[in-house]
Structure 1
Amino acid sequence: MDELADLASLKVLANPLRQRILRALRRTGEATSTTLAKELGVTTGGTSYNLRVLADHGFVEEIPEKSTGRERWWRFAGRGLRFPRYSEQNEEMRAVFDDLNRQWFQEDLDGMARFERVRDELGEWGDALPYSRGELNVTLEELAQFFDDYLALLNRYAKRPPQPGARNISMRFVAFPDIPAD
């Protein structure tokens, strides 16, 4: 089961460069601060510092068998977090959490726009946009169980080794109470 995020973890994640580093490591599997710096267009010192911060909070880990001398190799550690309920967050945590959600939502919109721009060039992967909208009438407990079931399904596929012909796919789940318009 994923651990409950604390304020320090949220602050670490809310840094945009750290988000970019995490995305790059998820995509490439492993990298050095130098390769990340080149890919992200930032200084090696910036990536080194932020990799250490991410490692201190369990989000990335060094690959000791590949690291030699000053060259340190890093990989995504797969740390899973659950976020505290909104009602359980203090004002500072809510501010950081809201900022992080805005960043992630903007990244999702940007990612969708990139897909739409190149969709015609992707061949059969251009059809890879399963989409569903729906409504459920559930209690809070049922919604929590639905989310747990979704995460179990997502993790079943996420933890498999890379498959031939497979691509990374962005998955999102969002659910919120339907508030009727005036």
Structure 2
Amino acid sequence: MPESEPERAAPKHETRVLDPRSLRGLAHPLRMRLLRALRHHGPATASRLAERLGESSGATSYHLRQLAAHGFVEDEPSLGKGRERWWKAAQQGVSWDESLDGSTDPEVRGAADLLLHELATHHTRELSTWIATRYEWPDWTGASDISDYTLRLPPAAARELGRRLHALIDEYRDAPEAAAPDAARVRLHLHAFPQREG
């Protein structure tokens, strides 16, 4: 008999600050996909995640245990029956400890590079999917946005801009509009980085 989807409330948005140890624990393509699936779709078993992601249940089980060892996922005992083990995301996001950028440890730098490249690849996939399916969302014409801007800022102003943008986005997390009948999950990608001129 197939597993049924659990009833779930919208999770409170808690973030985890990555340090060198937790960064190394998360920086694996399958672990990142597993964590993303639990965040977006709610609690699941290793078997359900294996089916969703096209992986073996042995691989998903192993990497879920690794994520648990680093505090990214945890048991959802209210859903388990017998030997069935359900997992849920322990937090809804991660943030970056700035000390990671200054690390000279090759292992930390490699993990940071892998994590950032995986995130960029995922963002590109999400955007490509939106472009390919945008005609299936007629009510969203004019509501979506693909923009880019070039500003000239010092690092302190760029940090302040990021802080203010994050604060504005946070205002919409629990807005009453989320319960509107035409509400959909909206993904926002925010990238800010310097470029060499010329």
Shorter-normalised TM-score: what interval?
Answer: 0.7 to 0.9
Q: 1:93 aligns with which of 108, 117, 142?
A: 108
Please say if 1:54 is aligned against 2:71: no
1:83 equivalent in structure 2: 97
Match of 1:64 among 77, 95, 107: 77
Q: Give the stretch that moved more between structures: 136-145 or 63-72.
A: 136-145
Q: 2:145 matched to 1:123?
A: no
Q: Deviations over 1:59-89 (max 9, x none)?
A: 1221122223211112222153323256522
- The equivalent position to 2:51 in structure 1, one of 27, 32, 38, is 38
AA at the equivalent of 2:73:
V
Identity %: 34
> Shift of residue 97 of structure 1?
0.9
Q: Show structure 1 runs of 5+ residues with no match.
A: none
The answer to whether structure 1 residue 152 and structure 2 residue 132 are counterparts is no
Whether 1:139 aligns to 2:154 is: yes
TM-score relative to the length of structure 2: 0.78
> What residue identity is the alignment partner of 1:81?
S
Contact 1:27 1:168 in 2 (8 A): no
Identify unmatched segments of 5+ residues in structure 2: 1-13
Counting only pairs closer than 5 Å after superposition, residues 7-18 of structure 1 correspond to structure 2 as 7-18=20-31
- The superposition leaves residues 90-125 of structure 1 with CA deviations (integer Å, 9 ceiling, x where unpaired) of 233222211221111111112211111111122223
Q: How many residues align?
A: 181
Moved more, 134-143 or 144-153: 134-143
Q: Which moves more between the two structures, 133-142 or 32-41? A: 133-142
Structure 2 SS opposite 1:71: coil
Q: 1:30 to 1:84 in 2, by over 3 A?
A: same
Q: Corresponding residue for 1:176?
A: 193
TM-score (norm 1): 0.84
Instruction: State the shift of 1:16 in Å.
Output: 0.9
CA 160–49 in structure 1, closer or farther in 2 if over 3 Å, else same: farther
- Higher mean alpha-carbon deviation, 43-52 vs 132-141, is at 132-141
Contact 1:31 1:74 in 2 (8 A): yes
One-letter amino acid matched to 1:88: G
Give the whole-Å Cα distance in 1 for the aligned partners of 2:99 and 2:191: 14
CA distance in 1, matches of 2:188, 2:134: 17
How far apart in 2 are the matches of 1:103 and 1:59?
Answer: 17
In structure 1, the residue matched to 2:32 is 19
The whole-number CA distance in structure 2 between the counterparts of 1:178 and 1:120 is 34
CA distance in 2, matches of 1:126, 1:21: 31
RMSD: 2.5
- Equivalent of 2:124 in 109, 117, 125: 109
Do the aligned partners of residues 43 and 109 (structure 1) sit closer, same or farther apart at CA in structure 2, a change above 3 Å counting?
same
Q: C-alpha separation between the residues in 2 aligned to 1:176 and 1:157? A: 25
Cα distance, 1:77–1:87 mapped onto 2, change above 3 Å: closer
**1:35 to partner: Cα distance:** 0.9
CA distance in 1, matches of 2:59, 2:25: 14
25-34 or 130-139: which moved more? Answer: 130-139
